Amino acid sequence: MRSGRRGVASVVLALFAGLLLAMTDVTAAVADQSKSKTRATTIRMGVLKQTDSQFVIKSGRTTYRITGRDLSPWVGKKVKVTGTMIRTEKGRVLEVTKIEEAKRSR
C-alpha cells in the first residue's frame, strides 16, 4: 500500500513542478509585453536647444531631454524628432532614432 501512495505523491509532485514552470513562462511573457509597451515610438516637434551637457526640445509646455546621436547641427532649428521614450531616475528621456527639420506650414 505504501508504494501506491509514493506513486501518487510522485505524480502530484510532478504536476506541481509542471504548473510552476508553466506559471514562470507566462510571467516572463507578460513582462516582455509590458516592456514593449513602454518603449513605443514617440514623435515630438519643437526647437532643439543645448544646455550645459545635454540637448532638449521644447514642445508646447513640456521640455524633453533627448539623446542618441550628435544633435549639434540641429541646435536652434525647429525639428521633428522620432525616438523611444525612456524613463530614468532623472525623468523621461527621448532616445532619438530619427531627426529632421520640421516642415513649415503654409
pLDDT in tens, 27-61: 444 444 444 445 678 899 999 999 888 999 988 88
| Torsion angle of C-alpha atoms 76, 80, 85, 91, degrees rounded to 10 | 30
Residue 53: phi and psi, rounded to 5, are -130, 15
pLDDT band at 22; cut points 50, 70, 90? low
Evaluate whether residue 14 is within a structural domain. Answer: yes
pTM for this one? Answer: 0.57
Residue 89: phi and psi, rounded to 5, are -65, -30
Evaluate whether residue 82 is within a structural domain. Answer: yes
Question: What is the extent of the structural domain holding 28?
Answer: 1-38
Same domain for 46 and 95, yes or no, is: yes
Q: Which segment of 3-12, 19-28, 45-54, 78-87 scores lowest on mean pLDDT?
A: 19-28
Same domain for 27 and 70, yes or no, is: no
Q: How many domains does the chain divide into? A: 2
14 φ/ψ sector (left φ>0, alpha ψ -120 to 50, else beta):
alpha
More confident residue, 23 or 64: 64
Same domain for 92 and 60, yes or no, is: yes
One-letter identity of residue 47: V
Evaluate whether residue 54 is within a structural domain. Answer: yes
